[in-house]
């Protein structure tokens, strides 16, 4: 006992230099070892080392010296005998045990922060609240206090002061964590890495150069010809009316001539607009791929995948984003398309009635407004120039496509062997893809590698390493993953925080059902519905109370037609109603586009999933407007069919509204604005259907997503970890028909990975089609992800699909 007292006295009086060393993680440790203790540290320059965590025996010190620090190892001559000194309570506890078990005791390792374990306990307590959306934001984490600054090896150690450990529960949340990406040095590649090299298409492979049908000369040519016919008709109308005192005699406002001069011009213009919608949709969906077909990097093309839109957005307001993305020609074309939309109100007031007295008996005759006729003619000539620009831009030699990428399944072919997929790790829960992904100069075409002569087709970045997704987070032997956190926080704590936060966001309904366009959120839809119903009631009351429209009303403007055919009253009561109707028509198009685009995810979110043709092969945005409603009806997508029908029906509102009113001279000598009652009744019916449609436009939970899908990156974020990208049965696909057959599971080699040939049990049996779902699945890296995959796979569990409602309710 005296010897022990002497040793204790020696420790207290000698007070050796106290030195604290940060735990250095072995460079050969893998990703899983980051969660373990940093006990295996490398020796420092002075020959000191960190004691093993299982047998460390920190010595008893006064309370002012209670911070755990590592004492410097004294020389062998002054090295005291090993001690195992504990407090009185610890001594009594150990004395009660017959056999000490150091593995079970494992006292805390000096120098190792236990914050990750505290954080784990806090997160487990708040996990249920987070899943219900009541907890703190999933992407936020409590800030860990920075480690106390320690002296270096060549500096004398200072007397350590006690540092109180703050309560993590009272720490303010900090900004959302940025997940580590592969560093720039890692992307440059090192010796022995597989590098992705661009290559020309081999002769035996499918030659590139596909252009969608709406952008080919065979489709744009007839559209240009139709525009030329309208230009010729306008020129003839203006010239003939000047030389022949008008065109035809006016009879009544319910005759065939009234339809020809008031309804037919805007109706022809609306046909051209629907044709432009089809051309515009084709431009949007293939423009990112045509941009990646260009040779050479461009500073404006380094964010093509995450910024260039693939869903049409050039309706009520012009879309000028392509000017900022290095595509000024496409930006000019879309601007001309948008200006052409507003020719419908001008065409509605192109013709009017004029009193002629020098051609036989005095009478009213139909005549064009000369100024409007020439202006519309110039506008259609500009449209012809824009269409010719499309022919020049979308030539076969400018394309690197094998077929038209109209569906989610086409992304599988484009990205199954891409080297940019590690950039998308944990991106499915991000809200804004544009700021989460690093800039990449992507290229679409054929590739090869520096270690294999094989050719393959994909989207990738030239001269960059081909990294597998499963190893994208693991640092190499002489490289550490970049971190923005403080030096006192270990890599294990950083990795733990990221994994824990990502899993909580992955299972959070608040994240799963977070995104919807602003104009389809509950508050916006409620406002639209109330406004539409109130305006509809006011419109019907003003129209039919006391037969105001049937009896006519005073124009409050001069109704006399001038020599050039212009009448202020006729122009006002034709242009303004048609303009308002055109606004209603264009305002519905984004709603229709959204329901078309998101229907694939809605079908995938069903409890039992959906077949390939009803989910990842759906291409409603690439169909003609009339065919969408019919195809959606056949597929059982009732809401898409209804929205598409309303988008077509709404085209009648500006056509009827612009031609229903005209100024007439009554027998008592008064000039009043009167309406063509058949056209006005039809206008009231179509307007009522349009207004009441806002009551059923609410998207259900099936159509809510974690983030927007209007870019290629937004869709790839739900596919980057899917096993569909690694399935060998869909490699080296030559035709889209073969690709569709493999996705349906109707061919010998299926997507189950077992490679067996499907057999019919009897002649009446039919093949069971493969089903796909959108939910939480186990990805190719062995971790949980949110996205698209097969509902069932051999050797793996079923997909977790959370919809919030059962069956097909609300769809």
Which residue, of 361, 395, 429, is where some domain finishes? 395
Examine the domain organization and report whether 243 and 258 are in the same domain: yes
Residue 524 belongs to some domain of the structure: no
DSSP class of 782: S
Give the model's pLDDT for residue 190: 57
Contact 739, 805 (CB under 8 A): no
Give the model's pLDDT for residue 126: 57
What is the distance of C-alpha 421 from the center of its chain? 16
Report the alpha-carbon distance of residue 340 to residue 334 in Å, rounded. Answer: 10
pLDDT, average across residues 254-278: 94
At residue 84 the predicted structure's pLDDT band, cuts being 50, 70 and 90, is very low
Give the model's pLDDT for residue 788: 94
Whether the pLDDT of residue 225 is over 90: the answer is: yes
Examine the domain organization and report whether 123 and 264 are in the same domain: no
The answer to which of 70-74, 327-331, 532-536, 743-747 has the lowest mean pLDDT is 70-74
Q: Token digits for 311?
A: 């869903």
For the ranges 84-88, 159-163, 400-404, 731-735, the one whose mean pLDDT is highest: 400-404
Residue 103: enclosing H or E segment and its boundaries? helix 102-105
At residue 502 the predicted structure's pLDDT band, cuts being 50, 70 and 90, is confident
Report the alpha-carbon distance of residue 421 to residue 281 in Å, rounded. Answer: 27
Exposed/middle/buried for 7, CB within 10 Å: 0-12, 13-18, 19+?
middle
At residue 666 the predicted structure's pLDDT band, cuts being 50, 70 and 90, is confident
At residue 297 the predicted structure's pLDDT band, cuts being 50, 70 and 90, is low
Examine the domain organization and report whether 246 and 338 are in the same domain: yes
Whether the pLDDT of residue 218 is over 90: the answer is: yes
Examine the domain organization and report whether 226 and 375 are in the same domain: yes
Residue 506 belongs to some domain of the structure: yes
How many separate domains does the chain show?
3
The candidate with the shortest Cα–Cα distance to 469, out of 715, 720, 713, is 720
The CA distances from residue 26 to 39, 69, 517, 527, 660, in Å, are: 10, 21, 48, 60, 82
What sections of 136-263 are H helices per DSSP? Answer: 184-188, 217-244, 256-258
Residue with tokens 């065939």: 256
571: Cβ–Cβ under 8 A, 6 or more apart, which residues?
349, 352, 369
Residue 782 belongs to some domain of the structure: no
Examine the domain organization and report whether 42 and 135 are in the same domain: no
Which residue, of 367, 395, 423, is where some domain finishes? 395
pLDDT tens figures, 544-591: 887 778 788 888 888 888 888 899 999 999 999 999 999 999 999 999
Residue 640 belongs to some domain of the structure: no
260: Cβ–Cβ under 8 A, 6 or more apart, which residues?
none
At residue 757 the predicted structure's pLDDT band, cuts being 50, 70 and 90, is very low
* Radius of gyration of the CA atoms of the chain, in A: 36
pLDDT tens figures, 644-660: 999 999 999 999 999 99
Residue 668: enclosing H or E segment and its boundaries? none
Q: Token digits for 561?
A: 């037609």
At residue 767 the predicted structure's pLDDT band, cuts being 50, 70 and 90, is very low
Residue 289 belongs to some domain of the structure: yes
Q: What are phi and psi of 232, to 5 degrees?
A: -65, -40
Contact 712, 411 (CB under 8 A): yes
Give the model's pLDDT for residue 466: 81
Examine the domain organization and report whether 7 and 33 are in the same domain: yes
Whether the pLDDT of residue 606 is over 60: the answer is: yes
Q: Token digits for 442?
A: 């992507």
Exposed/middle/buried for 186, CB within 10 Å: 0-12, 13-18, 19+?
buried
Examine the domain organization and report whether 239 and 367 are in the same domain: yes
The candidate with the shortest Cα–Cα distance to 423, out of 601, 178, 195, is 178
Q: Decide which of 637 and 133 is more confident.
A: 637
Which residue, of 339, 363, 395, is where some domain finishes? 395
Q: What are phi and psi of 458, to 5 degrees?
A: -170, 170
Residue 183 belongs to some domain of the structure: no
Q: Decide which of 381 and 141 is more confident.
A: 381
Examine the domain organization and report whether 104 and 119 are in the same domain: no
Contact 19, 48 (CB under 8 A): yes
DSSP class of 453: E
List the domain range (segments joined by +) for residue 50: 1-108
pLDDT, average across residues 132-143: 39
Examine the domain organization and report whether 4 and 129 are in the same domain: no
Residue 616 belongs to some domain of the structure: no
At residue 204 the predicted structure's pLDDT band, cuts being 50, 70 and 90, is low
Whether the pLDDT of residue 263 is over 80: the answer is: yes
Q: Token digits for 445?
A: 């075409």
As a whole-number percent, the residues of the chain with pLDDT over 90 amount to: 42
Residue 631 belongs to some domain of the structure: no
pLDDT tens figures, 301-319: 788 999 999 999 999 999 9
Q: Coil, strand, or helix at residue 353?
A: strand
At residue 191 the predicted structure's pLDDT band, cuts being 50, 70 and 90, is low
pLDDT, average across residues 429-441: 88
Examine the domain organization and report whether 117 and 225 are in the same domain: no
Examine the domain organization and report whether 102 and 125 are in the same domain: no
For the ranges 63-77, 80-94, 203-217, 649-663, the one whose mean pLDDT is highest: 649-663
Contact 57, 84 (CB under 8 A): yes
Examine the domain organization and report whether 123 and 221 are in the same domain: no
């Amino acid at each position: 006992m005296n010897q022990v007292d002497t040793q204790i006295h020696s420790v207290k009086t000698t007070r050796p230099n106290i030195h604290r060393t940060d735990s250095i993680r072995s460079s050969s440790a893998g990703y899983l070892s980051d969660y373990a203790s940093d006990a295996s540290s490398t020796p420092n320059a002075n020959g000191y080392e960190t004691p093993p965590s299982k047998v460390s025996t920190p010595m008893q010190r006064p309370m002012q010296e209670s911070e755990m620090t590592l004492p410097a190892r004294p020389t062998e001559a002054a090295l005291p005998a090993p001690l195992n000194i504990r407090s009185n309570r610890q001594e009594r506890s150990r004395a009660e045990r017959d056999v000490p078990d150091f593995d079970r005791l494992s006292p805390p390792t000096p120098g190792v922060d236990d914050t990750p374990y505290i954080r784990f306990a806090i997160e487990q307590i708040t996990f249920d609240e987070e899943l219900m959306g009541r907890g703190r934001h999933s992407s936020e984490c409590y800030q860990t206090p920075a480690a106390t600054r320690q002296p270096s090896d060549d500096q004398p150690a200072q007397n350590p002061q006690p540092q109180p450990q703050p309560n993590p529960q009272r720490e303010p949340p900090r900004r959302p964590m940025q997940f580590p990406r592969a560093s720039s040095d890692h992307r440059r590649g090192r010796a022995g890495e597989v590098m992705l090299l661009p290559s020309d298409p081999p002769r035996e492979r499918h030659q590139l150069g596909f252009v969608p049908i709406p952008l080919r000369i065979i489709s744009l040519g007839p559209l240009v010809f139709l525009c030329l016919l309208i230009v010729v008709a306008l020129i003839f109308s203006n010239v003939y009316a000047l030389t022949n005192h008008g065109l035809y005699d006016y009879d009544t406002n319910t005759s065939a001539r009234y339809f020809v001069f008031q309804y037919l011009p805007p109706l022809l213009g609306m046909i051209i607009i629907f044709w432009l919608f089809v051309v515009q949709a084709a431009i949007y969906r293939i423009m990112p791929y045509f941009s990646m077909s260009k040779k050479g990097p461009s500073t404006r093309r380094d964010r093509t995948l995450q910024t260039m839109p693939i869903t049409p957005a050039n309706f009520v307001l012009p879309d000028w984003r392509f000017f900022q993305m290095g595509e000024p020609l496409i930006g000019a074309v879309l601007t001309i398309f948008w200006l052409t939309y507003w020719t419908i109100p001008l065409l509605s007031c192109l013709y009017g009635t004029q009193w002629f007295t020098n051609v036989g008996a005095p009478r009213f005759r139909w005549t064009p407004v000369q100024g409007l006729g020439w202006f519309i003619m110039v506008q259609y000539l500009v449209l012809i120039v824009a269409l010719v620009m499309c022919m020049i831009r979308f030539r076969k030699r400018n394309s690197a496509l094998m077929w038209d990428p109209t569906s989610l399944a086409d992304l599988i072919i484009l990205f199954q062997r891409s080297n940019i997929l590690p950039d998308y790790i944990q991106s499915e829960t991000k809200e804004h893809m544009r700021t989460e992904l690093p800039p990449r100069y992507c290229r679409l075409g054929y590739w090869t590698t520096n270690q294999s002569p094989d050719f393959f087709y994909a989207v990738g970045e030239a001269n960059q390493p081909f990294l597998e997704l499963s190893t994208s987070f693991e640092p190499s032997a002489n490289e550490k993953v970049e971190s923005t956190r403080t030096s006192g926080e270990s890599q294990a704590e950083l990795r733990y925080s990221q994994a824990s936060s990502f899993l909580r966001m992955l299972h959070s309904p608040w994240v799963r059902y977070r995104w919807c366009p602003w104009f389809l959120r509950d508050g916006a839809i409620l406002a639209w519905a109330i406004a539409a119903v109130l305006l509809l009631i006011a419109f019907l009351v003003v129209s039919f109370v006391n037969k105001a429209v049937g009896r006519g009303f005073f124009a409050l403007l001069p109704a006399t037609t001038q020599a050039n055919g212009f009448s202020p009253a006729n122009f006002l009561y034709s242009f303004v109603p048609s303009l308002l109707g055109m606004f209603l028509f264009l305002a519905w198009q984004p709603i229709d586009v959204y329901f078309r685009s998101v229907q694939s995810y809605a079908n995938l979110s069903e409890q039992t999933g959906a077949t390939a043709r009803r989910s990842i092969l759906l291409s409603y945005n690439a169909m003609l407007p009339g065919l969408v409603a019919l195809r959606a009806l056949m597929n059982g997508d009732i809401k898409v069919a209804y929205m598409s029908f309303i988008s077509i029906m709404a085209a009648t509102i500006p056509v009827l509204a612009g031609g229903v009113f005209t100024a007439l001279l009554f027998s008592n000598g008064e000039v009043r604005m009167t309406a063509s009652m058949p056209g006005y009744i039809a206008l009231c019916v179509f307007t009522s259907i349009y207004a009441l449609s806002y009551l059923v436009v609410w998207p259900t939970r099936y159509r809510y997503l974690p983030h927007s899908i209007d870019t290629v990156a937004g869709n790839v974020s739900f596919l980057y970890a899917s096993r569909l990208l690694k399935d060998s049965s869909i490699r080296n696909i030559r035709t889209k028909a073969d690709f569709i057959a493999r996705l349906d599971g109707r061919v010998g080699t299926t997507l189950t990975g077992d490679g067996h040939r499907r057999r019919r049990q009897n002649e009446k049996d039919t093949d069971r089609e493969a089903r796909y779902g959108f939910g939480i699945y186990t990805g190719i890296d062995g971790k949980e992800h949110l996205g698209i995959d097969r509902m069932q796979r051999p050797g793996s569990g079923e997909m977790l699909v959370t919809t919030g409602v059962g069956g097909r309710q609300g769809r």
